[in-house]
Structure 1
Amino acid sequence: MKREDYRQHISAQFNAELDEVRSHFLAMGGLVEKQVTDAIASLLDADSALAVSVQNNDRRINQMESGIDEDIVRILARRQPAASDLRMIIAIGKSITDLERMGDEAAKIARAAQTLCEEGEAPRGYLECRHIGSLVRTMIHETLDAFAHFDVEQAFKVMKADAEIDMEYRTATRALVTYMMEDPRAISRVLSVMGVLRSLERVGDHARNIAEQLIFLVKGADVRHVSYEQVQKKLES
């Protein structure tokens, strides 16, 4: 299934409605990407004002999710789409939930950043946050780009990137636990940083979920809970 296959309808209005839902989804994704980027920056730069802005903007993401939900319900009621069109609607319907949860994680990071800013001392773990944050931002960007271009190979690349983030997260967590054992005075601050790392790891999970939905959309294959070798076979079929 290719991008142009979603433009072959008798009804021009139906084409327009599908394009509008997809555009709204990508716009929501763009805002979520910015929220995650700003949340990480607010932590690393000790920018309390930016942290507050991220928390306030979370409402916009929730509103966008509700609006897309309403669009989807209207299309299902009026158009009764079948085959590839139905897959698109299902994929977007599931993916906006993941985007909304990414936004929630960005708000959590921003709240932790605000607290750490007020304490005034940069704790151990910021290097890990910078590294994993960079991986996660790339993952979000590539997920949305894959969705924009119906690129299943890039979606598969995103899926594999999630495994790297999980590994980096486990390594960082072990190092921070060791540090807390050596310096109990840092426990409170380091726990806050570990919460940030956990949020970043969850954002990666949600990005992977969206990549899986894109593969379902284009190939009609459910690639959840299967090995990379099985995914590759489905992409080649």
Structure 2
Amino acid sequence: MNPNNPVLNHHISSQFNEELIAVNTKFMAMGGLVEQQVANAVHALLDTNANLAIDVQFQDNVVNQYERDIDEALTLILARRHPAAIDLRMVIAMSKANTDLERIGDEAVKIARIAQNLCEEGESPRGYVETRHIGNQIRVMIHEALDAFARVDAEQALKVLLADADIDREYQSATRTLMTYMIEDPRHITRVINVMWVLRSLERIGDHARNISEQVIYIAKGLDVRHTSVEEIEEKVQKGNS
């Protein structure tokens, strides 16, 4: 139960409250697991830990089950309660964010598979510095996106959107650096390409964290800010606060 969430605990029906709280609790548990998957996948790569990489892949089944359970619970709420206004926005937003969480888990699995392969080959290739840096930023983004969702905090959601723009720039810069390295030393092309795939997965995870944050703004403000520039979103959020 989150007392800071304006959607929960305000309904005439205590049963409706309990259903919303239960699915919200499951959603946050899934978010925590996915956040840990990403952290473990990056650690597995950087620390050459094949067992940790295997564990990330194993946990994917748990994430998938969470997704199914949350979808089912949200469908039942729609069918039984016919929610309106902010309740309906919460249900719709959680359904979409649920898909983004599952896809973050999928990207973590991709990183873990690459980590497992590189562990077996040994020798740390170029690109690990960039991977560590972007990986740390991505973990913060996921955490803050989930925290914003838990508190329905549009201001914090906006910070995640700004962070995603930074990640995109750093991803492009890291990719150019690694391309240059491959041209200069073709012996490590295959291994460096694997690291580039890891960076690509991290960039996609950032996109999913952004999507979750956009859903927070939808719940809080009733604004659909998908396919909208960060500058426009910032203006709309600040206008809504005034």
- On whether the aligned pair clears a TM of 0.5, the verdict is yes
Gaps spanning 5+ residues in structure 2: where?
A: none
Percent identity reads 61
- Structure 1 residue 181 displacement after superposition: 0.7
Deviations 1:76-132 (A, max 9, x none): 111111111110000000001000000000000000000000001111100000000
Q: Among residues 6, 9, 12, which one is paired with 1:10 in the alignment?
A: 12
Match of 1:32 in 2: 34
Deviations 1:38-64 (A, max 9, x none): 000000000000000000101100000
Gaps spanning 5+ residues in structure 1: where?
A: none
Q: Among residues 39, 43, 46, which one is paired with 1:44 in the alignment?
A: 46
Alignment-mate amino acid for residue 33 of structure 1: E
Moved more, 2-11 or 58-67: 2-11
- Structure 1 residue 202 displacement after superposition: 0.3
| Residues 48-197 of structure 1 mapped to structure 2, 5 A cutoff | 48-197=50-199
Q: Whole-Å Cα distance in 2 between the matches of residues 221 and 154 of structure 1?
A: 15
Q: Whole-Å Cα distance in 1 between the matches of residues 230 and 122 of structure 2?
A: 44
> SS state of the match for residue 7, structure 1?
coil
The answer on whether the counterparts of 2:141 and 2:160 sit within 8 Å (CA) in structure 1 is yes
> SS state of the match for residue 6, structure 2?
helix
Q: Whole-Å Cα distance in 2 between the matches of residues 167 and 49 of structure 1?
A: 32
The answer on whether the counterparts of 1:6 and 1:84 sit within 8 Å (CA) in structure 2 is no
Q: Whole-Å Cα distance in 2 between the matches of residues 92 and 165 of structure 1?
A: 24
Q: Whole-Å Cα distance in 1 between the matches of residues 202 and 164 of structure 2?
A: 11
Deviations 1:145-204 (A, max 9, x none): 111111111100000100100000000000101111111110000010000000000000
Q: Whole-Å Cα distance in 2 between the matches of residues 5 and 81 of structure 1?
A: 11
Alignment-mate amino acid for residue 202 of structure 1: R
Match of 1:211 in 2: 213
Q: With structure 1 as the length reference, what TM-score do the two structures score?
A: 0.97
Alignment-mate amino acid for residue 46 of structure 1: T
- Structure 1 residue 229 displacement after superposition: 2.8
The root-mean-square deviation of aligned C-alpha atoms, in Å, is: 1.0
Alignment-mate amino acid for residue 201 of structure 1: E
Q: Whole-Å Cα distance in 2 between the matches of residues 196 and 68 of structure 1?
A: 28
Aligned residues: 236
Q: With structure 2 as the length reference, what TM-score do the two structures score?
A: 0.95
